[in-house]
Amino acid sequence: MKLAGRVALVTGASQGIGHACALALAREGATIAAAARNREKLDELVAAIAAAGGQAAAFVIDVADEDQIKSGVKQALAQFGKIDILVNNAGIDTIFSVADMTEEAWDEMLDTQLRGTFLCSKYVSAHMVERNKGKIVTTSSVNGFLGGPKQAHYVAAKHGMLGFSKSLAIELAPHGINVNCVCPGAIDTPMSQGIMASKDGEWLGELGALTGPWNLFNPEAMLESEEITQAILWLSSDASDFVTGSALVVDAGFTIK
51 CB-contact burial (10 Å; exposed 0-12 / middle 13-18 / buried 19+): exposed
Q: Is 123 a catalytic residue?
A: no
Contact pick of 15, 55, 71, 94 for ligand NAD (by CB under 6 A): 15
Contact stretch for ligand NAD (CB under 6 A) within 50-58, 90-98, 169-177, 240-248: 90-98
Reduce the DSSP state of residue 226 to 3 states and report it.
helix
DSSP-derived pairing of the beta strands 31-36 and 177-184: unpaired
Q: Which is nearer to ligand NAD, 87 or 168 (CB)?
A: 87
Report 44-83 residues binding ligand NAD (CB under 6 A): 61-64
Collapsed DSSP state (helix, strand, coil) of residue 8: strand
Cα(first)–Cα(last) distance of the chain, in Å? 37
Binds ligand NAD by CB under 6 A, chosen from 31, 139, 178, 236: 139
How are strands ordered across the β-sheet holding 177-184?
Answer: 56-60, 31-36, 7-11, 85-88, 134-139, 177-184, 247-250
Q: Which of 80, 118, 123, 154 is catalytic?
A: 154
CA separation for the pair 92, 102 (Å, rounded): 16
Q: How far is the CB of 5 from ligand NAD (least distance, A)?
A: 26
Selected binder of ligand NAD within 71, 75, 94, 192 (CB under 6 A): 192
Contacting residues toward ligand NAD, per CB under 6 A:
11-18, 36-38, 61-64, 89-93, 112, 139, 141, 184, 186-187, 189-192
